[in-house]
């Protein structure tokens, strides 16, 4: 295969050229990765520290009905803002955008800690998502800027170590603070961590040269508004369906139809605009589309597990908030181990299709085990199902994003990565909302039946539905192209 270099045609396509070195030394790569690791820790901590504290929040603020929206509101706004930040970073550079995101995240964390009602907390979490939307997108794009897909496994151990630390500390810290101090500290703890992340990124990302702009950059404002509207109404339909309104009600059908219409208008807009928010060319790659699908389904599975595991141990097993946080640790550690295994697989075999097939099959098997375990089964059996599921989901997470970035040209790294993370966030919001709706139905049913048995069967149905989703992801990997991972850092479109 001939070496592809940045050409005039490439510049005409993306409107700019990344002024970055073709290769980075090991020391330079480490400086960038170590700099963004604090941001990864901040983003991951926010995902894991909140879940064990949900019952304490609901008890203090007096409502269980909208509990899942503490998670979903954050995911909605972070989803909306992610592609916008990705496009801005392609234009103005990663460092400037990432520091802005951290500043917003710190300010809104303060508001969340001061909330006096559940509605206030949900709105403040929505504002927090406007800052959090750029954290993972920018860090993943920065890593792709300095490490080729084939060599990413060499450095994945550092990133997975952050996930492992967060997996252990997040649920434990969240449960401990909720039980012994106050749930408000799960948000206030973001202040010192956020300050450290801002300092680290300000220094480390100086080594990434900003893009060289050719002409005045134009933002796709109409595309941003259409995408924001589509995501919002579709996730509202998922959140309200089966709880506030029946699934076949005019309200839910209207929201779903409105969301699909907005998506259609978005597609038309992206095809006609010169510099689109989501470049249509990235969706022309079968490898990218398959990776996108697996990533979305894996995120749905991840958030179903993150939302349900602590609640299962509290509501069915009678554990405390702190204990339920501890029970989430094996799942998160297994996910981090899956990250490492997926990276090693990529570096050894040079392709990810086989690893993703194994990962989706493991996830399906682990979830089926959780679904079939009867009430009163030994805890070690439940933990075994969690570990198998977490390991498979972890491989899917790293494998899908590496495979997707492998299919992207240099100028689309930010936009393409953001598009993947958008759908991953949609999957996460859908997973937590779906699980929250089913569990809320179980909570209502225990008023008329034997409580523990009814709740146990409710969790079993949640895991059975998740197993079906994992099976769909497995089928998707069977149709996935066996694309070789690039050993070069950047790639540009071929000259026309």
Question: Does 242 share its domain with 279?
Answer: no
| Residue 41 pLDDT greater than 90, yes or no | no
Question: Does 374 share its domain with 309?
Answer: yes
> What span, in angstroms and rounded, lies between the C-alpha atoms of 45 and 37?
12
Which residue's structure tokens are 């800052």? Answer: 131
Q: Read off the pLDDT of each residue in 313-330 and give the average, rounded to a whole number.
A: 77
What is the model's pLDDT at position 369?
92
Question: Does 303 share its domain with 396?
Answer: yes
Question: Does 374 share its domain with 457?
Answer: yes
**Does some domain include residue 11?**
no
Q: Which residues of 19-52 are buried (b: 16+ CB within 10 A; e: fewer)?
A: ebeeebeeeebebbbebbbbbbbbbbbbbbbbbb
**pLDDT tens track for 381-394:** 889 999 999 999 98
Instruction: Give the range among 161-170, 227-236, 330-339 with minimum mean pLDDT.
Output: 161-170
> What span, in angstroms and rounded, lies between the C-alpha atoms of 255 and 231?
11
Question: Does 182 share its domain with 241?
Answer: no
- Read off φ and ψ for residue 245, nearest 5 degrees: -140, 155
Question: Does 103 share its domain with 205?
Answer: yes
Helix or strand (DSSP H, E) at 212: strand 211-213
**Does some domain include residue 221?**
no
**Does some domain include residue 372?**
yes
**pLDDT tens track for 461-486:** 888 989 999 999 999 999 888 888 76
**Does some domain include residue 494?**
no
The domain of 251 spans: 231-274
The answer to whether the Cα torsion of 1, 26, 100, 115 is positive or negative is positive
Question: Does 303 share its domain with 419?
Answer: yes
* Contacts of 352 by beta carbon, 8 Å cutoff, 6+ apart: 342, 345, 346, 399, 402, 403, 485
CATH number at residue 395: 1.20.1250.20
* Whether 346 contacts 110, CB under 8 Å: no
**Does some domain include residue 50?**
yes
**In degrees, to the nearest 5, what angle opens at C-alpha 281 toward C-alphas 392 and 494?**
105
Count of the separate structural domains present in the chain: 2
* Contacts of 413 by beta carbon, 8 Å cutoff, 6+ apart: 90, 141, 144, 145, 405
> What span, in angstroms and rounded, lies between the C-alpha atoms of 197 and 135?
10
**Does some domain include residue 201?**
yes
Question: Does 308 share its domain with 399?
Answer: yes
* Contacts of 478 by beta carbon, 8 Å cutoff, 6+ apart: 357
Q: H helices then E strands: how many in the chain? A: 17, 2
* Whether 250 contacts 369, CB under 8 Å: no
**Does some domain include residue 28?**
yes
- Read off φ and ψ for residue 241, nearest 5 degrees: -65, 130
Nearest in space to 350 (alpha carbons), one of 126, 149, 52 = 149
Question: Does 279 share its domain with 147?
Answer: yes
**pLDDT tens track for 199-239:** 877 777 776 655 555 555 567 778 888 888 887 888 778 76
**Does some domain include residue 280?**
yes
Question: Does 78 share its domain with 101?
Answer: yes
Question: Does 195 share its domain with 120?
Answer: yes
**pLDDT tens track for 246-257:** 778 888 889 989
Question: Does 255 share its domain with 129?
Answer: no
């Amino acid at each position: 295969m001939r070496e592809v270099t940045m050409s005039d045609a490439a510049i005409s396509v993306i409107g700019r050229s990344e002024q970055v070195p073709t290769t980075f030394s090991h020391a330079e790569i480490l400086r960038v990765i170590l700099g963004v690791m604090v941001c990864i820790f901040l983003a991951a901590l926010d995902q894991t520290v909140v879940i064990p504290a949900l019952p304490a929040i609901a008890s203090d603020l007096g409502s269980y009905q909208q509990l899942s929206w503490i998670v979903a509101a954050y995911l909605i706004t972070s989803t909306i803002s992610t592609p916008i930040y990705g496009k801005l970073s392609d234009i103005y550079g990663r460092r400037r955008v990432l520091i802005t995101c951290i500043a917003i995240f710190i300010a809104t964390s303060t508001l969340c800690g001061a909330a006096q009602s559940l509605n206030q907390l949900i709105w403040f979490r929505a504002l927090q998502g406007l800052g959090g939307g750029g954290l993972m997108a920018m860090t993943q794009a920065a890593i792709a800027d300095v490490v080729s897909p084939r060599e990413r496994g060499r450095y994945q151990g550092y990133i997975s170590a952050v996930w492992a630390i967060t997996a252990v500390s997040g649920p434990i810290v969240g449960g401990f603070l909720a039980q012994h101090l106050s749930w408000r500290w799960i948000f206030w703890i973001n202040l010192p961590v956020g300050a450290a992340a801002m300092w680290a990124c300000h220094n480390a990302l100086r080594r990434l040269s900003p893009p060289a702009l050719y002409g005045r950059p134009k933002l796709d404002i109409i595309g941003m508004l259409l995408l924001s509207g589509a995501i919002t109404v579709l996730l509202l339909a998922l959140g309200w369906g089966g709880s506030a309104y029946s699934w076949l009600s005019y309200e839910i059908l209207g929201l779903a139809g409105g969301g699909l219409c907005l998506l259609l208008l978005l597609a038309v807009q992206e095809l006609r605009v010169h510099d689109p928010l989501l470049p249509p060319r990235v969706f022309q790659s079968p490898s990218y589309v398959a990776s996108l699908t697996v990533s979305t389904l894996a995120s749905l599975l991840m958030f179903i597990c993150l939302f349900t595991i602590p609640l299962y141990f509290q509501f069915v097993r009678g554990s405390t908030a702190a204990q339920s946080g501890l029970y989430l640790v094996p799942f998160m550690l297994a996910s981090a181990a899956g990250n490492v295994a997926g990276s090693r697989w990529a570096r050894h075999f040079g392709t990810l299709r086989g690893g993703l097939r194994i990962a989706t099959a493991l996830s399906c098997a682990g979830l089926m085990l959780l679904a079939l375990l009867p009430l009163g089964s030994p805890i070690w059996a439940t933990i075994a199902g969690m570990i198998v599921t977490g390991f498979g989901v972890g491989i899917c997470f790293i494998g899908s994003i590496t495979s997707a970035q492998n299919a992207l040209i240099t100028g689309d790294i930010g936009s393409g990565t953001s598009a993947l993370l958008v759908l991953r966030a949609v999957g996460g919001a859908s997973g937590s909302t779906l699980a929250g709706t089913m569990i809320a139905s179980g909570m209502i049913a225990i008023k008329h039946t034997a409580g523990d048995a009814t709740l146990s069967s409710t969790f079993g149905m949640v895991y059975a539905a998740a197993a079906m989703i994992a099976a769909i992801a497995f089928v998707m990997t069977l149709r996935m192209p066996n694309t070789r991972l690039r050993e070069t850092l950047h790639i540009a479109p071929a000259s026309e």
